[in-house]
Amino acid sequence: MTDPLPPSPHSATLVVHEAITKLDALDAMAAALKVAIQRPGTSRPFVSVGEGSWAEVEIPKFGEAPPLSIDVYSVDSRAAAEARALALMAQLAASTGWSIRPMFVG
């Protein structure tokens, strides 16, 4: 994956119904996918979920209640982003036991 990320990629969002931190979520995604976290220690770390696709974690803003969300991006298409999001959801559910749901019709 090249840097910087494309300005207008296609996206699909997963909602995680767990009280976890952004770093813990990134670590869990990296472990489930057997990849490294890219740009650790920056404001927009991400995990690669396939060629031209990546996932970022969004935490609730001040005053908002959990859950957190995982945004999966693809440079190819919305359908590719949704397919990668569903694959990530299955891998995370299997490896963590988290309750996760897509925020799109997949």
Residues 59-105 pLDDT 10s: 777 666 567 899 999 999 999 999 999 999 999 999 999 999 999 87
Distance CA 75, CA 40 (A): 21
Q: What is the pLDDT of residues 5-28, one digit of tens each?
A: 555 689 999 999 888 888 999 999
Q: For the whole model, what pTM was predicted? A: 0.86
Would you say 61 and 27 are in contact if contact means Cβ atoms under 8 Å apart?
no
Question: At 14, phi and psi to the nearest 5?
Answer: -110, 140
pLDDT at position 1 is 47
Neighbours of 44 (CB within 10 A): 11
SS (H, E, C) 21-77: CHHHHHHHHHHHHCCCEECCCCCCCEEEEECCEEEEEECCCCCCCCCEEEEEEECCC
What are the extents of the domains in the chain?
A: 10-102
CATH 3.30.310.180 fits 10-102, yes or no: yes
pLDDT at position 66 is 67
Tokens 């840097």 belong to: 3
The pLDDT of 40-63, averaged and rounded, is 88
Distance CA 56, CA 11 (A): 10
